[in-house]
Amino acid sequence: MAPDERSPQRGSFVRDQVDGLRAAGADAELLEFPPGRSQYRPAVARIRRALRTGRFDLVHAHYGLAGWCAALAGARPLAVTFHGTDVRHPLVGPLSRLLARRADLIGVVSRDLFAARDGRSGVRRAPGRTAILPCGALLGRFGPLPQAHARERLGLDPNARLLLFPADPRRPEKRFDRAADVAGRAGAELVSAGGIEPDRMPLWINAASAVLVTSDYEGFGLAAVEALACGRPVLSTPVGIGPALLSGVDGCLVAPFDADRWAEVARRQRDADPPTAVDPGALGWPSAAPLAVSASAAYRSLLDSDAWVP
């Protein structure tokens, strides 16, 4: 999940969780490597070298293939958090489910990943070894700003009609085509977040009239949390935490994708003056720091239990 110039936001939620763990008192070391098939063998060697120091009580990998790198390097006890794509992917999914059988702590970012979807199995629960470990929003970074101020900071037209697609258009499961269809029907300009620096994402969210989550599936759906933290309405398919987080929140829509219906709601948000503001208090629980405390508690439970046998 190491970021690069083209994808500076890659892995930001993992880095936020590491910062939360450190704030909670854990001594955490972060090892990142770029995506790509050629990176896995060098990653195994790097992890193995780090483990030889003997100073780690536990290794926590994010995503199934990174988990396999840790497992092949001999990491024990091994916690793996599965995020969604690694479970639902037609090729990587079976590997992730196989890894879950040997991991000492099986983490998923939402309960949805235990269930089968679209003919694809979820992660199997294992008594005493399963935990829900979402990555929360860094609420010190995300918060409401006046739209005019955000647009001025970004050098945008103050009168533009903007909708935000909070994902990389190159990821097919995020369904950029749907978002583009909605924006076109609503007479709005669509901005995508594929190359936006994490620290500038709050400005882009606040500059938009609404955020479009058009995904086929989400393991968690952090973009919806970040949008609500900024007080911006979200239009979302019923994926990840969307139904639990957004249902009943004024200005938001949680529904199967229907271009006409979505465009109608987006048009209302586009024309709202001032923009529709969502009460960030509707969030309730998704801050990165408290969720890192939950992860730390899961580590302690594993290390102190009979489930972990060296």
Q: Are residues 116 and 170 in the same domain?
A: no
Q: Which domain holds residue 210?
A: 147-282
pTM of the model: 0.84
Same domain (yes/no): 98, 70? yes
Is 3 a domain residue? Answer: no
d(CA 91, CA 93): 6
Question: Quick check: is 263 in a domain?
Answer: yes
Question: What's the confidence (pLDDT) of residue 137?
Answer: 76
pLDDT band at 72 (very low <50, low <70, confident <90, very high): very high
Q: Is residue 118 part of a domain?
A: yes
Out of 59-63, 108-112, 272-276, the most confident range is: 59-63
CATH of the domain at 90: 3.40.50.2000
Tokens of residue 278, six digits = 């969502």
What pLDDT is stored for residue 88 in this prediction?
87
In a domain, 6, yes or no: no
pLDDT at 145 over 90: yes
When pLDDT is averaged across residues 137-162 and rounded to a whole number, the result is 91
Q: Which position has the higher pLDDT, 155 or 308? A: 155
Residue 81 has pLDDT above 80, yes or no: yes
Q: What share of the chain in percent tops pLDDT 70? A: 95
pLDDT band at 289 (very low <50, low <70, confident <90, very high): low
Query: How many domains, in total, are found in the chain?
Result: 2
Q: What is the pLDDT of residues 40-58, one digit of tens each?
A: 999 999 999 999 998 999 9
pLDDT tens, position by position, 168-198: 999 999 999 999 999 999 999 999 988 888 8
Instruction: Tell me the pLDDT band of 288, cut-offs 50, 70 and 90.
Output: low
